[in-house]
Structure 1
Amino acid sequence: MNLSGKAVRFWMNQLQIPIEQVFIMVDDLALPFGTLRVRSSGSDAGHNGLKSMQAELGTTAYPRLRFGVGNDFPKGKQVEYVLGRWTSEQETALPLKLEKCTEIIQSFCLAGIQITMNQFNNQNYAAHAAELKNEIPTEPVVFMKPISALLKGNQPLYYPSFTQNLHYEGEIVLRIGKNGKKIQEKFAMTYIDAITLGFDFTARDIQDKLKAKGLPWEIAKGFDGSAAI
């Protein structure tokens, strides 16, 4: 599988398949088990199979479906984890995940990558809540990140030593520029004076312990560099 780019290039040439009609499905250690991400392009992120694809095709601009397999393995045991057996919980959840993968592949073939991304990536919030065994809230869930959590200007993030399970999520970041309360929805955007993209980093193992005790999440959410913009 680490040389899968050779097989893909062979069949692309053999059947005259344009690259925009190629759809690669890949396991992803960086995503929790069962999390699905559809992308039209992107880096190899250290994945050997995608490195082979990039080397053989000469580009990173090919559609792909990333299937999260999680990273719950001891240091140095990545190969054994990837080639090992599913847990009983994963085996139970797997049929539904594969069914969703089938829907994504069918959508890509019939509707194209943009519609597929719009349709299926937007479902990730509900999937993420289910993954964490959280109810989908009817009101905003508020947690705080201090100024020291901001990571700006392409500064590097240093992996915190106190966690073995660091997760990240892409976010739309809004800056509230003035005070207000009981604001009507039609006026809400007048309170926003800046918008950008960012990443929210979470020490998930620490957060789980805090949640189990009914404690705030700030230790897991507010460490230095945990809010990259």
Structure 2
Amino acid sequence: MTTPTYSEFVASLAKPGADILASLTPEKAHAWHMASCIPGEAGELYDAIMTADFENLIEELGDLEFYIEGLARPIIGYNRYEIPNKVRFGPPEHRLPGVAADVFDAVKKWVLYNEELDVEALGRAIAGLDWVMDRIRRDYGLTREQTIEHNIAKLSKRYADGYSDQAAQARADKIVPEALSGEYKGWHWNAVSGGGYTARRLYTTSMIDVCPTREELFAHIDGMDAA
């Protein structure tokens, strides 16, 4: 008997996608959508904390609120459940991966394994995630209302005409207008009224005349550095 490779072993035990689709319902698909996004958002929140990116921290807290609301309200009605004791130990950001995984795991068992939905387990997992997020907000002087308002503003811009795949891909809220000024290799550059760009070397009176584009201005600076 030939021993299967690990790839063959995994392929033999992975539940076929067709079987998952056969048992999927609109309710399960919605819950899977909401729950599957929570671990990723928790990871991005953790990164924002580790890099002291305050703006992104607010955004990721708001994104988590969106998916918790989308999952909890229709599935468990947002009943209050006891917070698991394990959540209460250690810095809140260190609990993020675990509590996010608990939420996803409760939905996974229902959607993939066709177990009866354990509403209390899901409720406790969401309560644990809520508690961790509350600790993080308090640590940074934020309120839940502030993060929700930020999320509404962001998604209202992204989906100005309602949800569509095209709007989700375009992410209009992430489009940043072309900068009018900045710094480049020790020079402060500015857009000029009427078109073009000029630059001044920092802490000196050295100036560069107007160049038609930023790229040409930067190339001019590169040439001066190389001279």
Higher RCO by CA contacts (8 Å cutoff, separation 6 or greater): 1
Q: Larger % of strand: which?
A: 1
Q: Which has the higher helix share?
A: 2
**Same fold judged by TM-score > 0.5?**
no
TM-score by length of 1: 0.28
TM-score normalised per structure 2: 0.29
- Larger Cα Rg: Structure 1 or Structure 2? 2
